[in-house]
Amino acid sequence: MTTLHDPNLRGFASDNYSGIHPEVLAAIAAANDGHQVAYGDDIYTERLQAVFARHFGEGVEAFPVFNGTGANVVGLQSMLPRWGAVIAAGTAHINVDEGGAPERVAGIKLLTVPTDDGKLTPELIDREAWGWGDEHRAQPLAVSITQSTELGTLYTVDEVTAIADHAHERGMRVHMDGSRLSNAAASLGVPFRAFTRDAGVDVLSFGGTKNGAMLGEAVVVLNPEASTGLKFLRKLDMQLASKMRFVSAQLIALLDDDLWLRNASHSNAMAQRLRAGVEAGISDGSIRGVAFTQPTQSNGVFATLPDGVADRLRESFRFYDWDASKNEVRWMCSFDTSENDIDAFLAAIARETTATS
């Protein structure tokens, strides 16, 4: 087949823009020969359970799905009765980037709280954690947090533990959207289970696509008492893959050794290189009018630019506006972002910001 795209085109719009890591692609090919039982009764999905148990502890169960929205919808739906509601940050992916799927598909009321850094706290949770027993109010029965957050910030182990303890004391369960969980673990320097199962998280959406997979995430039940019916909900929500071995093989490739960590550490490091380069340019005057809006703790950089600069930069490097009213943009790095990519982008930022001053 003729290549239809320019393989030299680079950008900072999303870690979803990157291709498949060669080791993951090789794992898909290795799983391709012969026949395997469909719908998850294959040897790869069986092996995946042992891989997740090694990272999260014995007794966990992983349910591979197609994408992050599916993982969140299926996972949350398994945690709640029909009258249940979920407390989440206003910036949460389940609130602003899933097309209403939690509400329309899962029938879940979202109770959102504004935050400056994308992170919930026990105090913020209490803004919506009330009204139990009131038949006129959707019952707040779960809290959903994102790690790393949509603003690139991280919850520490202690912060997750405090949230989980607070939620559990009030009879609520805790869900974690972990589409960039590997970036969080790499940045925190701790095992996955330290800020998930051991910290009190009940159900996890584990991400693979943003960290080198072609497609595929998993709903990971860390506390079996907090989730029911997932086997049936996955099919009901159209997330049951018939050829599941190819989803499972990708997650095995990421998790069986340290590929997940290598990929996430690299994308985090490229974000730090980008931020450091901009900071150096601001200091020496070669970059003007740029300011950061969030700490860079994972693989995303959030900044504001002078008027008109973003559109001119996008002629060569694609990225998204985050809040156009403030000229705020988001720059995302991927497992395949190179130092040359960063340096070329820094040169373009310097050229465009000095041209406007």
Print the domain residue range for 312: 260-355
Query: Count H helices, E strands: the chain?
Result: 13, 11
Q: Of 199, 227, 257, which residue constitutes the final position of a domain?
A: 257
> How high is the pLDDT of residue 17?
94
262 — pLDDT class (breaks 50, 70, 90): very high
347 in the same domain as 293: yes
What's phi and psi for 187, nearest 5 deg? -70, -40
CB 216 within 8 A of CB 21: no
Q: Does 59 reside within a domain?
A: yes
- Asked if residues 296 and 237 have their Cβ atoms less than 8 Å apart, the reply is no
> Do the domain assignments include residue 235?
yes
Looking at the fold, whether 221 and 349 belong to one and the same domain comes out as no
Considering only CA atoms, which of 210, 241, 237 is closest in space to residue 108? 237
Q: 194 lies in a domain?
A: yes
Angle of CA points 25, 181, 218, to nearest 5°: 60
Q: How many domains does the chain have?
A: 2
Residue 1 lies in a domain: no
Q: What are phi and psi of 220, to 5 degrees?
A: -115, 115
Binning pLDDT at 50, 70 and 90, where does residue 36 land?
very high
Average pLDDT value for residue range 196-204: 98
What are the φ/ψ torsions at residue 111 (nearest 5 degrees)? -110, 105
Residue 4 lies in a domain: no
Same domain, residue pair 248 and 284: no
Q: Final residue of a domain: which of 257, 285, 316? A: 257
Instruction: Give the separation between CA 290 and CA 205, rounded to whole angstroms.
Output: 34
What mean pLDDT do residues 316-321 have? 96
> In this predicted structure, what is the pLDDT of residue 313?
97
* pLDDT, tens digit, 9 for 90 and up, residues 84-126: 999 999 999 999 999 999 999 999 999 999 999 999 999 999 9
Sole residue written with tokens 């589409």: 179
Q: Which one, of 180, 265, 183, 214, lies nearest residue 22 by Cα?
A: 214
* CATH number reported for the structural domain that contains residue 134 in this entry: 3.40.640.10
Decide which of 205, 229, 257 is a domain's last residue: 257
253, part of any domain: yes
Is residue 199 located within the same domain as residue 326?
A: no
| Residue 199 burial by Cβ neighbours in a 10 Å radius (0-12, 13-18, 19+) | buried
If asked whether residues 203 and 319 sit together in one domain, one would say no
Q: Is residue 331 part of a domain?
A: yes
Mean pLDDT of the chain: 97
Domain co-membership, 238 together with 266: no
| Same-domain pairing of 83 and 211 | yes
Task: Tell whether 303 is covered by a domain.
Answer: yes
Whether 241 and 273 map to the same domain: the answer is: no
Do 63 and 209 lie in a common domain?
yes
- Asked if residue 200 has pLDDT above 70, the reply is yes
In 3D, which of 13, 7, 4 has the Cα closest to residue 331? 13
Do 84 and 146 reside in the same domain of the chain? Answer: yes
116 and 230 share one domain: yes
Domain match, 265 and 224 both: no
pLDDT surpassing 90 at residue 1 = no
**Rg value, the chain, Cα:** 21
Q: Where are the beta strands (DSSP E) in 147-244?
A: 173-178, 203-207, 217-221
Q: How sure is the predictor about 29, in pLDDT bands with cuts at 50, 70 and 90?
A: very high
The domain spanning residue 345 has which CATH number? 3.90.1150.10
What integer is the mean pLDDT of 1-28?
A: 94
Q: What is the pLDDT of residue 355?
A: 85
